[in-house]
Amino acid sequence: MNAPLLNGQVAVIGAGTMGIGIAQVAAAAGHPVRLFDIAPAAAQRAIDDLARRLRQRVNGGKADAAITEALLARLERADSLDQLADCTLVIEAVAENLAIKQGLFRDLEALCSPTALFASNTSSLSITAIAGALQHPARMAGLHFFNPAPLMKLVEIVSGLETGAETLAALQALAQRWGKQSVVCRSTPGFIVNRVARPFYAETLRALEERVADAATLDAVLRDAGGFAMGPLQLTDLIGQDVNYAVTDSVYQAFYQDPRFTPSLVQQELVAAGRLGRKSGRGFYRYDAPRSATEIAFASPVQAALPQHVTLHGDWSSLADLAELLIENAGAIKQPGQTSPHVTIDDVTLMLTNGKTAGQLADERGTPVVLFDLCADYAHAPAIAISCAAQNDAQHNAKAIRLLQSLGKQVIPLPDYPGLLTMRTLAMLANEALDVVNKGVASAEDTDLAMLRGVNYPRGPLAWGAALGWHHILTTLENLQRYYGEARYRPMPLLRRYASPASFPGAER
């Protein structure tokens, strides 16, 4: 990276939450920073608020006084665009309006040095379209930070159609110097994170629409069993229902209303009612009244003795941690084979969901069937979700629940819902991530890194899908597609290739 960019003056335009956060990151890395907002009072207010927060950390013994004051000394307000003329990098973080952004960069190009780089923090607009206002679009890229910018490690560096390789390389080096992990992607709707993440919200919202369980129980499945940091409904309350819905709708419209991005009517209704989550006091949960204990629909403890005959059938290599738990805690015996992994508990079959209902599988197998959901880490997950075939009697279900409780798990019984929740969510996440890779939007490594660092997933969806087995992901989606009759669950071409190792050697590695 050239020395002027490494040490030069940085301009940040827009003094909202993201703008002042980005300014703080640049100033902490040693850059003199000018913060400009169309309302000068807003820029000064943002700097003053940041100073107050940082000095509170010093007073609380959480930050060094000299480092804090040096950072603040590098921040100043700019009262006009003319004051940004000598900046080597200008980062825009204003309203998501294409015309405003184009006009802004058009003015900046006339003011700044030909060697200055321009970046937009947009999360939804095309970098190619924004750069279309420039005479020299090679100097323009996306630099998409995540909120809060000083804490979140990920930065998406987004290449428009005309973005120069030198521009991308310079921004990658700069992001590394700023202590960020960067991923590079092409400018397509949602980039990586906001595109791949849509199913994380969509599948739980659909389960809520279909009255599978209440919000607290559904969140517990993804959080306590699936291993995600927060449940999807909790997270949308934190983000803001209006913000999350707008991103989903933006991606849906940008992909010509592709059904795999269809927004939720439940979420639309919340937004219409002004129930936006934490910021309004109420969303899926209430924040405007004393919090009461959230009731999760766990199964009651089963007091009966453990089943006497617990046998593991098939290939358990993809569920090795669960197999170990069953052997250690329930005395399970292995009968290796090439079939899908499943457990027989006396006369009951316990198996990982594959997109069919438990009732369908009970009819096919001629035995009582209980399905269990996917966990990111069976050894440490405090809970596990199950569904039971309607053909079972209470004793059949109790055997499976007792076995899982013997592993130290809280059991969350759900209705006989195809794919349960974590499995269908992962299948859709992995399917979307594979489409990102297949279409050259980003590399597989950057796609997984983006989801790990941008939204704190327990595992990258591609690594997780490969570990589980692409054939199981494909089977789950095909079964869901048949069940619903919807293109929403159609498997992507790269998934079909990965699920057929004979035609794509090495796909299962």
69 as an active site residue: the answer is: no
* Cα–Cα nearest to 315, from 471, 419, 429: 471
Phi, psi of 219 (to 5 degrees): -60, -40
**Cα-based angle 44, 26, 47 (whole degrees, multiple of 5):** 15
Which residues lie below 8 Å from residue 236, measured CB to CB, with a gap of 6+? 201, 244, 267, 277, 283, 284
| Nearest CA-CA partner of 6 in 29, 36, 24, 22 | 29
Query: Counting Cβ atoms within 10 Å, is residue 476 exposed (0-12), middle (13-18) or buried (19+)?
Result: buried
Which position among 92, 109, 126, 144 bears the catalytic label? 144
Contact of 287 with 238, CB cutoff 8 Å: no
Residue of 194, 244, 387, 431 marked active site: 194
The sheet with strand 181-186 has its strands ordered as 75-78, 33-36, 10-13, 89-92, 117-120, 140-145, 154-159, 181-186
Cis peptide preceding 418, ω within 30 of 0: no
- Which secondary structure element, helix H or strand E, spans residue 366, and what is its range? none
Q: With b meaning 16 or more CB within 10 Å and e meaning fewer, what string describes 247-277?
A: bbbbbbebbeeeebbbbbeebeebbeeebbb
- ∠ CA(294), CA(300), CA(305), 5° rounding? 155
**431 flagged as catalytic:** no
Active site residue 123: yes
Active site residue 194: yes
Structure tokens, 395:
């004793």
Which one is catalytic: 109, 156, 203, 478?
A: 156
* Dist. CA 234–CA 238, nearest whole Å: 6
Catalytic residue, from 123, 244, 250, 264: name it: 123
Please report, for the chain, how many H helices and E strands are present, in that order.
Answer: 21, 15
Active site residues: 123, 144, 156, 194
